[in-house]
Amino acid sequence: MRPFEINFDFPVASSNLKISLRATAELHHSEPHYLVRDFYLTDGEHKTRHSVLPEQLIRRIKSGSKHAWVHKDSEKESELSIAIGKGIESVLSEDEIDNTFEK
């Protein structure tokens, strides 16, 4: 699978503020996870070529009867991993995601 663009809203801690971001996600198959990079604000031109967040490695795991998006290294869920996961889910079908992580 080629890299693809995702859009998502990232909630700012302890506030009602959300920041709309665009990033590039790429599936890595060795241990299925997504490398998500090149985070930019969606409401403006790229005045800088520097990402507003560092690269993130996330994966989807089964948590009881539900799925959770977690950071690959810690296996912990965060507001950022949840938001990125929702962005991925808005681009890929449930079957595509299931086929990647349920093997």
pLDDT at position 47: 57
Query: Mind listing the pLDDT tens digit of every residue in the chain (103 residues)?
Result: 789 999 999 988 888 899 999 999 999 987 899 999 999 988 766 555 678 899 999 999 988 889 999 999 999 999 999 999 999 999 999 898 888 876 5
Q: What residues have CB less than 8 Å from 56, skipping those under 6 apart?
A: 35, 36, 37, 71, 80, 81, 84
The count of structural domains within the chain is 1
pLDDT at position 74: 97
pLDDT at position 46: 56
Range of the domain at 23: 4-101
- Give this prediction's pTM: 0.86
